[in-house]
Structure 1
Amino acid sequence: MIDVTRSGSPRAPLGRRVFLAGSGAAVLAAVGARPASAALPAVDMEEVLLAAHWDPVKSGTGITAGAGPSVTLVEQALVARGFLDGQYVDGHFGTVTRTAYASWQRSLGYTGLGATGLPGKASLTSLGAQRFSVSRPVTPGSRTTFQGFPFNSRTVAMLAEARVLAGKAFVVEQGSYSPGVDPTSSGTHDGGGTADLDAEALTAQQRTAAVTALRRVGFAAWLRSPSQGSWPWHIHAVATNDTDLSLAAQKQVGAYYEGRNGLANNAADDGPQVTKVTWEQYLRNRA
Protein backbone atom coordinates (compact mmCIF):
# COMPACT_ATOMS: atom_id res chain seq x y z
CA MET A 1 0.00 0.00 0.00
CA ILE A 2 1.36 3.43 -0.97
CA ASP A 3 1.07 6.21 1.59
CA VAL A 4 0.53 9.68 0.12
CA THR A 5 2.04 12.81 1.62
CA ARG A 6 0.22 16.15 1.82
CA SER A 7 1.90 17.26 -1.42
CA GLY A 8 0.71 14.14 -3.20
CA SER A 9 4.11 12.47 -3.45
CA PRO A 10 4.07 8.70 -2.90
CA ARG A 11 5.93 7.42 0.13
CA ALA A 12 7.58 4.02 0.11
CA PRO A 13 6.11 1.57 2.62
CA LEU A 14 8.23 0.53 5.57
CA GLY A 15 10.58 -2.37 4.99
CA ARG A 16 10.76 -1.98 1.18
CA ARG A 17 13.46 -0.54 -1.06
CA VAL A 18 12.50 1.63 -4.01
CA PHE A 19 14.82 1.65 -7.04
CA LEU A 20 14.40 4.73 -9.20
CA ALA A 21 16.66 6.28 -11.78
CA GLY A 22 18.47 9.47 -10.87
CA SER A 23 20.63 10.76 -8.08
CA GLY A 24 20.25 9.56 -4.50
CA ALA A 25 18.85 12.92 -3.43
CA ALA A 26 16.27 12.85 -6.21
CA VAL A 27 15.20 9.35 -5.27
CA LEU A 28 14.79 10.34 -1.63
CA ALA A 29 12.76 13.38 -2.62
CA ALA A 30 10.60 11.29 -4.94
CA VAL A 31 9.63 8.75 -2.28
CA GLY A 32 9.39 11.30 0.54
CA ALA A 33 11.91 9.43 2.69
CA ARG A 34 14.67 10.80 4.87
CA PRO A 35 18.34 9.91 4.45
CA ALA A 36 19.27 7.08 6.80
CA SER A 37 21.53 9.43 8.74
CA ALA A 38 18.85 12.10 9.25
CA ALA A 39 17.23 12.08 12.66
CA LEU A 40 13.46 12.17 12.78
CA PRO A 41 11.84 15.03 14.70
CA ALA A 42 10.61 13.99 18.12
CA VAL A 43 7.05 14.11 19.42
CA ASP A 44 6.95 14.57 23.20
CA MET A 45 4.17 12.22 24.26
CA GLU A 46 3.79 13.82 27.69
CA GLU A 47 3.09 17.20 26.11
CA VAL A 48 0.75 15.76 23.47
CA LEU A 49 -1.26 13.95 26.14
CA LEU A 50 -1.65 17.08 28.25
CA ALA A 51 -2.81 19.03 25.19
CA ALA A 52 -5.24 16.24 24.30
CA HIS A 53 -6.77 16.54 27.78
CA TRP A 54 -6.75 20.30 28.04
CA ASP A 55 -7.30 21.77 24.58
CA PRO A 56 -10.79 20.32 23.91
CA VAL A 57 -12.27 22.12 26.94
CA LYS A 58 -10.77 25.52 26.14
CA SER A 59 -13.11 28.23 24.89
CA GLY A 60 -10.72 29.05 22.04
CA THR A 61 -7.89 27.46 20.13
CA GLY A 62 -5.10 28.34 22.53
CA ILE A 63 -2.05 26.11 22.37
CA THR A 64 -0.92 24.30 25.50
CA ALA A 65 2.48 25.70 26.49
CA GLY A 66 5.30 23.58 25.09
CA ALA A 67 3.00 21.20 23.22
CA GLY A 68 2.55 23.11 19.95
CA PRO A 69 5.46 21.62 17.94
CA SER A 70 4.66 18.04 18.94
CA VAL A 71 0.93 18.40 18.34
CA THR A 72 1.65 19.94 14.93
CA LEU A 73 3.71 16.89 13.93
CA VAL A 74 0.85 14.62 15.00
CA GLU A 75 -1.67 16.68 13.05
CA GLN A 76 0.53 16.68 9.94
CA ALA A 77 0.76 12.89 10.14
CA LEU A 78 -3.03 12.62 10.48
CA VAL A 79 -3.41 14.82 7.39
CA ALA A 80 -0.96 12.68 5.43
CA ARG A 81 -2.95 9.57 6.31
CA GLY A 82 -6.26 11.15 5.35
CA PHE A 83 -7.80 11.53 8.80
CA LEU A 84 -7.60 15.31 9.23
CA ASP A 85 -8.09 18.31 6.97
CA GLY A 86 -4.99 20.45 6.54
CA GLN A 87 -6.72 23.58 7.87
CA TYR A 88 -6.64 22.09 11.36
CA VAL A 89 -2.86 21.80 11.57
CA ASP A 90 -2.38 24.49 14.20
CA GLY A 91 -0.78 22.87 17.25
CA HIS A 92 -4.12 22.88 19.13
CA PHE A 93 -5.32 19.36 20.03
CA GLY A 94 -8.99 20.30 19.98
CA THR A 95 -12.10 18.23 19.39
CA VAL A 96 -11.50 17.97 15.62
CA THR A 97 -7.98 16.62 16.13
CA ARG A 98 -9.19 14.30 18.87
CA THR A 99 -11.92 12.94 16.58
CA ALA A 100 -9.38 12.44 13.80
CA TYR A 101 -7.02 10.64 16.15
CA ALA A 102 -9.84 8.38 17.35
CA SER A 103 -10.50 7.47 13.70
CA TRP A 104 -6.81 6.63 13.32
CA GLN A 105 -6.99 4.39 16.41
CA ARG A 106 -10.05 2.58 15.03
CA SER A 107 -8.26 2.05 11.72
CA LEU A 108 -5.62 0.15 13.70
CA GLY A 109 -8.31 -2.07 15.22
CA TYR A 110 -8.60 -0.36 18.61
CA THR A 111 -11.99 -0.05 20.31
CA GLY A 112 -13.37 1.23 23.62
CA LEU A 113 -10.77 2.92 25.80
CA GLY A 114 -8.21 2.38 23.06
CA ALA A 115 -10.10 4.60 20.63
CA THR A 116 -11.15 7.72 22.55
CA GLY A 117 -8.78 10.01 20.65
CA LEU A 118 -6.31 10.14 23.54
CA PRO A 119 -2.97 9.00 22.08
CA GLY A 120 -1.49 5.78 23.39
CA LYS A 121 2.13 4.77 22.95
CA ALA A 122 1.47 2.11 20.30
CA SER A 123 -0.89 4.17 18.13
CA LEU A 124 1.36 7.24 18.36
CA THR A 125 4.45 5.23 17.42
CA SER A 126 2.59 3.72 14.46
CA LEU A 127 1.38 7.15 13.32
CA GLY A 128 4.94 8.45 13.42
CA ALA A 129 6.47 5.73 11.24
CA GLN A 130 9.07 7.44 8.97
CA ARG A 131 7.80 10.83 10.23
CA PHE A 132 8.68 11.30 13.88
CA SER A 133 10.02 9.47 16.90
CA VAL A 134 8.24 9.38 20.25
CA SER A 135 10.03 10.79 23.28
CA ARG A 136 8.96 10.55 26.94
CA PRO A 137 6.41 7.78 26.31
CA VAL A 138 3.66 7.31 28.89
CA THR A 139 1.89 4.05 29.72
CA PRO A 140 -0.72 3.28 32.42
CA GLY A 141 1.03 0.07 33.40
CA SER A 142 -0.59 -3.27 34.06
CA ARG A 143 -4.05 -3.82 35.51
CA THR A 144 -4.01 -4.55 39.22
CA THR A 145 -6.10 -4.12 42.38
CA PHE A 146 -5.70 -1.87 45.40
CA GLN A 147 -7.82 -2.33 48.53
CA GLY A 148 -9.92 -4.72 46.45
CA PHE A 149 -10.69 -2.22 43.68
CA PRO A 150 -9.48 -2.30 40.06
CA PHE A 151 -6.71 0.12 39.07
CA ASN A 152 -3.66 0.30 36.87
CA SER A 153 -0.17 0.25 38.36
CA ARG A 154 0.57 3.90 37.51
CA THR A 155 -2.46 5.09 39.51
CA VAL A 156 -1.59 2.84 42.46
CA ALA A 157 1.94 4.26 42.55
CA MET A 158 0.52 7.78 42.54
CA LEU A 159 -1.88 6.97 45.38
CA ALA A 160 0.92 5.43 47.42
CA GLU A 161 3.11 8.53 47.04
CA ALA A 162 0.24 10.89 47.85
CA ARG A 163 -0.51 8.87 50.96
CA VAL A 164 3.05 9.44 52.18
CA LEU A 165 2.82 13.18 51.52
CA ALA A 166 -0.56 13.44 53.26
CA GLY A 167 0.64 11.49 56.29
CA LYS A 168 -2.57 9.48 56.47
CA ALA A 169 -3.85 6.31 54.82
CA PHE A 170 -6.48 6.58 52.10
CA VAL A 171 -9.62 4.44 52.10
CA VAL A 172 -10.83 3.71 48.57
CA GLU A 173 -14.58 3.89 47.91
CA GLN A 174 -14.47 3.43 44.14
CA GLY A 175 -11.70 2.44 41.76
CA SER A 176 -11.10 2.55 38.03
CA TYR A 177 -12.39 0.42 35.14
CA SER A 178 -15.86 0.31 36.74
CA PRO A 179 -18.46 1.15 34.07
CA GLY A 180 -21.99 1.42 35.42
CA VAL A 181 -21.03 0.78 39.06
CA ASP A 182 -22.11 4.23 40.28
CA PRO A 183 -24.45 6.30 38.06
CA THR A 184 -23.56 9.48 39.96
CA SER A 185 -20.02 9.21 38.58
CA SER A 186 -21.26 10.10 35.07
CA GLY A 187 -18.80 7.75 33.38
CA THR A 188 -15.64 9.15 34.97
CA HIS A 189 -14.75 5.74 36.46
CA ASP A 190 -15.38 3.79 33.24
CA GLY A 191 -11.67 3.90 32.37
CA GLY A 192 -8.38 3.99 34.26
CA GLY A 193 -6.75 6.65 36.40
CA THR A 194 -9.69 7.45 38.69
CA ALA A 195 -10.37 6.93 42.38
CA ASP A 196 -12.89 8.05 44.99
CA LEU A 197 -11.53 8.20 48.52
CA ASP A 198 -13.52 8.34 51.76
CA ALA A 199 -13.46 11.74 53.45
CA GLU A 200 -16.31 11.42 55.96
CA ALA A 201 -14.05 10.49 58.86
CA LEU A 202 -11.44 13.13 58.07
CA THR A 203 -11.15 16.52 59.71
CA ALA A 204 -11.24 19.64 57.55
CA GLN A 205 -7.46 19.91 57.87
CA GLN A 206 -6.96 16.28 56.87
CA ARG A 207 -9.23 16.69 53.86
CA THR A 208 -7.23 19.66 52.65
CA ALA A 209 -3.95 17.81 53.23
CA ALA A 210 -5.18 14.81 51.27
CA VAL A 211 -6.37 16.83 48.26
CA THR A 212 -3.13 18.84 48.31
CA ALA A 213 -1.03 15.67 48.33
CA LEU A 214 -3.02 14.13 45.49
CA ARG A 215 -2.60 17.26 43.39
CA ARG A 216 1.11 17.44 44.11
CA VAL A 217 1.71 13.99 42.57
CA GLY A 218 -0.35 14.62 39.44
CA PHE A 219 -4.02 14.04 40.21
CA ALA A 220 -6.81 16.39 39.29
CA ALA A 221 -8.43 16.09 42.71
CA TRP A 222 -11.36 17.74 44.42
CA LEU A 223 -13.17 17.40 47.73
CA ARG A 224 -16.82 16.55 47.06
CA SER A 225 -19.50 17.47 49.61
CA PRO A 226 -23.12 16.26 49.98
CA SER A 227 -24.29 19.74 48.97
CA GLN A 228 -22.85 19.20 45.48
CA GLY A 229 -24.64 15.97 44.62
CA SER A 230 -26.15 12.70 45.82
CA TRP A 231 -23.02 11.45 47.53
CA PRO A 232 -21.27 11.56 50.93
CA TRP A 233 -18.08 13.48 51.68
CA HIS A 234 -15.35 12.04 49.47
CA ILE A 235 -12.34 13.00 47.37
CA HIS A 236 -12.55 12.49 43.63
CA ALA A 237 -9.17 12.05 41.93
CA VAL A 238 -8.26 11.68 38.25
CA ALA A 239 -4.69 10.88 37.21
CA THR A 240 -3.58 13.44 34.63
CA ASN A 241 -1.99 12.03 31.45
CA ASP A 242 -3.36 8.54 32.05
CA THR A 243 -3.90 7.08 28.57
CA ASP A 244 -6.80 4.89 29.76
CA LEU A 245 -9.06 7.72 30.94
CA SER A 246 -12.68 7.70 29.84
CA LEU A 247 -13.87 10.70 27.84
CA ALA A 248 -15.68 12.05 30.91
CA ALA A 249 -12.50 11.80 32.99
CA GLN A 250 -10.45 13.41 30.22
CA LYS A 251 -12.77 16.41 30.33
CA GLN A 252 -12.30 16.67 34.10
CA VAL A 253 -8.52 16.87 33.67
CA GLY A 254 -9.04 19.68 31.16
CA ALA A 255 -11.39 21.42 33.59
CA TYR A 256 -8.78 21.12 36.35
CA TYR A 257 -6.17 22.83 34.19
CA GLU A 258 -8.74 25.49 33.32
CA GLY A 259 -9.25 26.20 37.03
CA ARG A 260 -12.71 24.62 37.23
CA ASN A 261 -14.27 22.11 39.63
CA GLY A 262 -14.86 19.25 37.20
CA LEU A 263 -18.61 19.15 37.85
CA ALA A 264 -21.46 19.80 35.43
CA ASN A 265 -21.87 23.37 36.75
CA ASN A 266 -18.26 24.13 35.70
CA ALA A 267 -17.79 26.34 38.75
CA ALA A 268 -14.44 27.71 39.83
CA ASP A 269 -12.00 25.31 41.46
CA ASP A 270 -12.38 25.61 45.24
CA GLY A 271 -9.50 23.28 46.10
CA PRO A 272 -5.99 24.01 47.39
CA GLN A 273 -3.80 25.78 44.85
CA VAL A 274 -0.67 23.84 43.91
CA THR A 275 1.58 23.79 40.86
CA LYS A 276 -0.15 21.48 38.39
CA VAL A 277 2.05 18.59 37.31
CA THR A 278 1.75 15.13 35.83
CA TRP A 279 3.09 12.06 37.65
CA GLU A 280 6.12 11.98 35.37
CA GLN A 281 6.88 15.63 36.04
CA TYR A 282 6.57 15.01 39.77
CA LEU A 283 9.05 12.14 39.61
CA ARG A 284 11.57 14.26 37.69
CA ASN A 285 11.20 17.14 40.12
CA ARG A 286 11.63 14.79 43.10
CA ALA A 287 14.84 13.25 41.73
Structure 2
Amino acid sequence: MKLPSCAAALTAAALFAPLIGASGMSAAHAADVRALPSVNMEALIKAAQIDPRRPDTTVTPGAKASVLLVEQALRDRRLLDAKWVDGYFGSTTVTAYAKYQKSLGHTGLNANGLPGKMSLTGLGSGRFKVTNVVEPGTRVSTGGFVINTRTRSMLAEAKRLLRRDLKLDQGSYNPGGDHTSAGTHDGGGVVDISVEGMNSATRTAVVRALRLVGFAAWVRSPRQGNWPWHIHATAISDTSLSSQAQHQIGDYYLGLNGLANRGPDDGPKVTIRTWEEYQRR
Protein backbone atom coordinates (compact mmCIF):
# COMPACT_ATOMS: atom_id res chain seq x y z
CA MET A 1 0.00 0.00 0.00
CA LYS A 2 1.30 3.40 -0.92
CA LEU A 3 1.12 5.84 1.99
CA PRO A 4 0.43 9.53 1.31
CA SER A 5 3.31 11.87 1.79
CA CYS A 6 3.39 14.11 4.85
CA ALA A 7 2.75 17.13 2.65
CA ALA A 8 -0.25 15.46 1.03
CA ALA A 9 -1.68 14.54 4.43
CA LEU A 10 -1.30 18.11 5.65
CA THR A 11 -2.98 19.40 2.52
CA ALA A 12 -5.94 17.05 3.03
CA ALA A 13 -6.23 18.10 6.67
CA ALA A 14 -6.27 21.75 5.64
CA LEU A 15 -9.03 21.07 3.15
CA PHE A 16 -11.25 19.37 5.72
CA ALA A 17 -10.44 21.59 8.70
CA PRO A 18 -13.04 24.26 7.87
CA LEU A 19 -15.70 21.56 7.99
CA ILE A 20 -14.94 20.65 11.61
CA GLY A 21 -15.73 23.05 14.46
CA ALA A 22 -13.85 23.41 17.72
CA SER A 23 -16.38 21.08 19.35
CA GLY A 24 -15.66 18.33 16.82
CA MET A 25 -19.04 18.88 15.15
CA SER A 26 -19.07 19.07 11.35
CA ALA A 27 -20.38 22.23 9.76
CA ALA A 28 -23.19 20.26 8.13
CA HIS A 29 -24.24 18.72 11.46
CA ALA A 30 -24.08 22.11 13.18
CA ALA A 31 -26.36 23.51 10.47
CA ASP A 32 -28.79 20.64 11.03
CA VAL A 33 -28.91 21.41 14.76
CA ARG A 34 -29.54 25.09 14.08
CA ALA A 35 -32.39 24.14 11.75
CA LEU A 36 -34.21 22.13 14.44
CA PRO A 37 -37.20 23.75 16.16
CA SER A 38 -36.63 24.99 19.71
CA VAL A 39 -38.15 23.89 22.99
CA ASN A 40 -38.05 26.76 25.47
CA MET A 41 -37.34 24.92 28.71
CA GLU A 42 -38.42 27.84 30.90
CA ALA A 43 -41.84 28.00 29.25
CA LEU A 44 -42.17 24.21 29.25
CA ILE A 45 -41.49 23.85 32.96
CA LYS A 46 -43.86 26.69 33.77
CA ALA A 47 -46.64 24.88 31.89
CA ALA A 48 -45.83 21.58 33.62
CA GLN A 49 -46.37 23.26 36.99
CA ILE A 50 -49.46 25.31 36.17
CA ASP A 51 -51.50 23.26 33.69
CA PRO A 52 -52.21 20.25 35.97
CA ARG A 53 -53.78 22.63 38.53
CA ARG A 54 -56.06 24.48 36.12
CA PRO A 55 -59.83 23.92 36.28
CA ASP A 56 -59.88 23.84 32.47
CA THR A 57 -57.53 23.17 29.56
CA THR A 58 -56.29 26.72 29.04
CA VAL A 59 -52.80 26.62 27.56
CA THR A 60 -50.03 28.46 29.43
CA PRO A 61 -49.13 31.58 27.42
CA GLY A 62 -45.92 31.20 25.43
CA ALA A 63 -45.61 27.46 26.10
CA LYS A 64 -47.82 25.76 23.50
CA ALA A 65 -45.21 25.30 20.74
CA SER A 66 -42.68 23.79 23.16
CA VAL A 67 -45.24 21.56 24.85
CA LEU A 68 -46.43 20.25 21.48
CA LEU A 69 -42.89 19.25 20.46
CA VAL A 70 -42.42 17.36 23.72
CA GLU A 71 -45.83 15.69 23.50
CA GLN A 72 -45.17 14.61 19.93
CA ALA A 73 -41.89 13.03 21.01
CA LEU A 74 -43.63 11.23 23.89
CA ARG A 75 -46.34 10.05 21.49
CA ASP A 76 -43.77 8.62 19.10
CA ARG A 77 -42.25 6.70 22.00
CA ARG A 78 -45.72 5.25 22.71
CA LEU A 79 -45.85 6.98 26.09
CA LEU A 80 -48.69 9.39 25.30
CA ASP A 81 -51.88 8.83 23.30
CA ALA A 82 -52.26 11.07 20.27
CA LYS A 83 -55.42 12.66 21.69
CA TRP A 84 -53.32 14.30 24.43
CA VAL A 85 -50.97 16.03 21.98
CA ASP A 86 -52.61 19.43 22.41
CA GLY A 87 -50.06 21.86 23.85
CA TYR A 88 -51.55 21.52 27.34
CA PHE A 89 -49.08 20.04 29.85
CA GLY A 90 -51.71 18.48 32.08
CA SER A 91 -51.42 15.60 34.51
CA THR A 92 -51.54 13.02 31.67
CA THR A 93 -48.50 14.59 30.02
CA VAL A 94 -46.72 14.85 33.38
CA THR A 95 -47.32 11.13 33.93
CA ALA A 96 -46.09 10.32 30.42
CA TYR A 97 -42.94 12.37 30.93
CA ALA A 98 -42.31 10.59 34.25
CA LYS A 99 -42.57 7.26 32.42
CA TYR A 100 -40.01 8.50 29.91
CA GLN A 101 -37.67 9.51 32.76
CA LYS A 102 -38.07 6.07 34.33
CA SER A 103 -37.31 4.44 30.96
CA LEU A 104 -33.92 6.17 31.18
CA GLY A 105 -33.32 4.51 34.54
CA HIS A 106 -34.18 7.57 36.62
CA THR A 107 -35.94 7.25 39.96
CA GLY A 108 -37.20 9.52 42.72
CA LEU A 109 -36.86 13.25 42.05
CA ASN A 110 -35.27 12.53 38.67
CA ALA A 111 -38.54 10.92 37.57
CA ASN A 112 -40.94 13.56 38.90
CA GLY A 113 -42.53 14.32 35.51
CA LEU A 114 -40.90 17.76 35.41
CA PRO A 115 -38.50 18.04 32.44
CA GLY A 116 -34.84 18.27 33.41
CA LYS A 117 -32.02 19.29 31.11
CA MET A 118 -30.60 15.79 30.58
CA SER A 119 -33.88 13.99 29.91
CA LEU A 120 -35.24 16.81 27.75
CA THR A 121 -32.10 16.96 25.63
CA GLY A 122 -32.27 13.20 25.13
CA LEU A 123 -35.93 13.32 24.18
CA GLY A 124 -35.18 16.01 21.64
CA SER A 125 -32.24 14.29 19.96
CA GLY A 126 -32.71 14.82 16.23
CA ARG A 127 -36.12 16.42 16.84
CA PHE A 128 -35.62 19.71 18.68
CA LYS A 129 -33.00 21.75 20.46
CA VAL A 130 -33.39 22.97 24.04
CA THR A 131 -33.09 26.67 24.83
CA ASN A 132 -33.47 28.71 28.03
CA VAL A 133 -32.15 25.84 30.13
CA VAL A 134 -33.05 25.78 33.83
CA GLU A 135 -30.94 23.81 36.30
CA PRO A 136 -31.24 23.61 40.11
CA GLY A 137 -27.49 23.22 40.59
CA THR A 138 -25.70 21.06 43.11
CA ARG A 139 -26.76 20.46 46.69
CA VAL A 140 -25.06 22.61 49.31
CA SER A 141 -25.36 23.15 53.05
CA THR A 142 -26.32 26.51 54.48
CA GLY A 143 -27.24 27.27 58.07
CA GLY A 144 -27.22 23.56 58.79
CA PHE A 145 -29.76 22.77 56.08
CA VAL A 146 -29.41 21.30 52.58
CA ILE A 147 -30.58 23.36 49.60
CA ASN A 148 -29.32 23.71 46.02
CA THR A 149 -27.22 26.46 44.50
CA ARG A 150 -30.12 28.00 42.58
CA THR A 151 -32.14 28.33 45.80
CA ARG A 152 -29.08 29.71 47.60
CA SER A 153 -28.66 32.42 44.96
CA MET A 154 -32.34 33.34 45.20
CA LEU A 155 -32.17 33.62 48.99
CA ALA A 156 -29.02 35.74 48.75
CA GLU A 157 -30.77 38.19 46.44
CA ALA A 158 -33.82 38.38 48.71
CA LYS A 159 -31.52 39.16 51.64
CA ARG A 160 -29.85 41.88 49.60
CA LEU A 161 -33.20 43.47 48.80
CA LEU A 162 -34.28 43.30 52.44
CA ARG A 163 -30.91 44.31 53.87
CA ARG A 164 -31.32 41.67 56.54
CA ASP A 165 -30.40 38.05 57.12
CA LEU A 166 -32.90 35.21 56.85
CA LYS A 167 -32.66 32.19 59.12
CA LEU A 168 -33.90 28.84 57.82
CA ASP A 169 -36.13 26.57 59.92
CA GLN A 170 -36.15 23.80 57.30
CA GLY A 171 -34.36 23.14 54.03
CA SER A 172 -34.87 21.00 50.95
CA TYR A 173 -34.36 17.29 50.13
CA ASN A 174 -35.87 16.35 53.49
CA PRO A 175 -38.23 13.43 52.83
CA GLY A 176 -40.31 12.60 55.88
CA GLY A 177 -38.50 15.21 57.95
CA ASP A 178 -41.67 17.10 58.85
CA HIS A 179 -45.04 15.44 58.37
CA THR A 180 -46.83 18.80 58.51
CA SER A 181 -45.10 19.83 55.27
CA ALA A 182 -47.11 17.24 53.29
CA GLY A 183 -44.09 16.28 51.19
CA THR A 184 -43.26 19.74 49.87
CA HIS A 185 -39.75 19.59 51.34
CA ASP A 186 -39.05 16.13 49.90
CA GLY A 187 -37.42 17.68 46.84
CA GLY A 188 -35.42 20.77 46.04
CA GLY A 189 -36.31 24.46 45.98
CA VAL A 190 -38.32 24.58 49.21
CA VAL A 191 -37.40 26.28 52.50
CA ASP A 192 -39.08 27.44 55.68
CA ILE A 193 -37.83 30.72 57.13
CA SER A 194 -37.94 31.71 60.79
CA VAL A 195 -40.04 34.76 61.67
CA GLU A 196 -38.57 35.11 65.15
CA GLY A 197 -38.39 38.81 66.05
CA MET A 198 -40.45 39.88 63.03
CA ASN A 199 -43.64 41.91 63.31
CA SER A 200 -46.48 41.60 60.81
CA ALA A 201 -45.10 44.30 58.50
CA THR A 202 -41.66 42.69 58.43
CA ARG A 203 -43.08 39.25 57.67
CA THR A 204 -45.00 40.71 54.75
CA ALA A 205 -41.88 42.53 53.50
CA VAL A 206 -39.91 39.28 53.58
CA VAL A 207 -42.60 37.43 51.61
CA ARG A 208 -42.68 40.25 49.06
CA ALA A 209 -38.91 40.10 48.56
CA LEU A 210 -39.01 36.32 48.20
CA ARG A 211 -41.77 36.59 45.61
CA LEU A 212 -39.89 39.25 43.68
CA VAL A 213 -36.88 36.97 43.14
CA GLY A 214 -38.91 33.94 42.05
CA PHE A 215 -40.34 32.15 45.08
CA ALA A 216 -43.96 31.29 45.71
CA ALA A 217 -43.98 32.40 49.34
CA TRP A 218 -46.50 32.75 52.13
CA VAL A 219 -46.63 33.54 55.84
CA ARG A 220 -47.94 30.44 57.62
CA SER A 221 -49.73 30.79 60.97
CA PRO A 222 -50.80 28.20 63.60
CA ARG A 223 -54.45 28.75 62.70
CA GLN A 224 -53.77 27.32 59.23
CA GLY A 225 -52.24 24.05 60.39
CA ASN A 226 -50.27 22.18 63.01
CA TRP A 227 -47.17 24.37 62.80
CA PRO A 228 -45.66 27.49 64.38
CA TRP A 229 -45.47 30.86 62.64
CA HIS A 230 -43.04 30.69 59.73
CA ILE A 231 -42.59 31.70 56.08
CA HIS A 232 -42.85 28.94 53.52
CA ALA A 233 -41.09 29.53 50.18
CA THR A 234 -41.01 27.34 47.05
CA ALA A 235 -38.67 28.20 44.17
CA ILE A 236 -40.66 28.43 40.94
CA SER A 237 -39.39 26.13 38.17
CA ASP A 238 -36.86 24.22 40.26
CA THR A 239 -36.70 20.99 38.28
CA SER A 240 -36.08 18.92 41.43
CA LEU A 241 -39.38 19.91 43.08
CA SER A 242 -41.48 17.20 44.67
CA SER A 243 -44.91 16.71 43.10
CA GLN A 244 -46.52 18.42 46.10
CA ALA A 245 -44.28 21.45 45.65
CA GLN A 246 -45.05 21.52 41.92
CA HIS A 247 -48.73 21.79 42.86
CA GLN A 248 -47.98 24.72 45.15
CA ILE A 249 -46.34 26.59 42.27
CA GLY A 250 -49.30 25.95 40.00
CA ASP A 251 -51.71 27.18 42.66
CA TYR A 252 -49.62 30.29 43.24
CA TYR A 253 -49.89 31.22 39.56
CA LEU A 254 -53.63 30.68 39.80
CA GLY A 255 -54.01 33.05 42.77
CA LEU A 256 -54.28 30.41 45.49
CA ASN A 257 -52.58 29.94 48.86
CA GLY A 258 -50.64 26.72 48.25
CA LEU A 259 -52.48 24.86 51.00
CA ALA A 260 -54.67 21.77 50.72
CA ASN A 261 -57.82 23.90 50.99
CA ARG A 262 -56.78 25.83 47.85
CA GLY A 263 -58.01 29.07 49.36
CA PRO A 264 -57.28 32.52 47.91
CA ASP A 265 -53.71 33.81 48.02
CA ASP A 266 -53.24 35.82 51.21
CA GLY A 267 -49.79 37.23 50.39
CA PRO A 268 -48.63 40.54 48.91
CA LYS A 269 -49.36 41.01 45.22
CA VAL A 270 -46.34 41.15 42.93
CA THR A 271 -45.65 40.39 39.29
CA ILE A 272 -44.95 36.65 39.27
CA ARG A 273 -41.49 35.90 37.89
CA THR A 274 -39.12 32.98 37.90
CA TRP A 275 -35.54 33.49 39.08
CA GLU A 276 -34.39 33.52 35.46
CA GLU A 277 -36.98 36.16 34.54
CA TYR A 278 -35.98 38.26 37.53
CA GLN A 279 -32.36 38.22 36.44
CA ARG A 280 -33.34 39.45 32.97
CA ARG A 281 -35.70 42.18 34.14
The normalised TM-score by structure 2 is: 0.88
Give the count of matched residue pairs.
253
Q: Does 1:59 align with 2:65?
A: no
Q: How much has 1:200 moved relative to structure 2?
A: 3.4
Deviations 1:223-243, CA, capped at 9 Å, x for gaps: 001111111110000000000
SS at match of 2:153: helix
Distance in 1 of aligned mates of 2:34 and 2:251: 40
| Cross-structure match for 1:147 | 143
Structure with the higher helix share, 1 or 2: 2
Deviations 1:147-178, CA, capped at 9 Å, x for gaps: 11000000000001011112221110000000
* Aligned residues with identical type, % of pairs: 57
Q: Does 1:129 align with 2:154?
A: no
SS at match of 2:65: helix
Q: How does 1:40-55 map to 2 (within 5 A)?
A: 40-55=36-51
Distance in 1 of aligned mates of 2:112 and 2:49: 11
| Cross-structure match for 1:235 | 231
SS at match of 1:220: strand
Deviating above 6 A after TM superposition, structure 1's stretches of 4 or more consecutive aligned residues are none
| Cross-structure match for 2:65 | 69
Unaligned 5+ segments in structure 2 are 1-30
Answer yes or no: is the 8 Å Cα contact 1:200–1:232 preserved in 2.
no
Residue type of the partner of 1:202? M
Distance in 1 of aligned mates of 2:221 and 2:34: 56
Answer yes or no: is the 8 Å Cα contact 2:33–2:129 preserved in 1.
no
Distance in 2 of aligned mates of 1:232 and 1:167: 25
Distance in 1 of aligned mates of 2:252 and 2:206: 17
SS at match of 1:145: strand
Q: Does 1:78 align with 2:110?
A: no
Q: Does 1:260 align with 2:247?
A: no
Q: How much has 1:36 moved relative to structure 2?
A: 3.7
Instruction: Please say which structure displays the higher CA radius of gyration.
Output: 2
| Cross-structure match for 2:222 | 226
Unaligned 5+ segments in structure 1 are 1-34
The normalised TM-score by structure 1 is: 0.86
| Cross-structure match for 1:21 | none
Q: 1:205 to 1:76 in 2, by over 3 A?
A: same
Deviations 1:27-75, CA, capped at 9 Å, x for gaps: xxxxxxxx94860000000000000001000011110010011001100
| Cross-structure match for 2:194 | 198
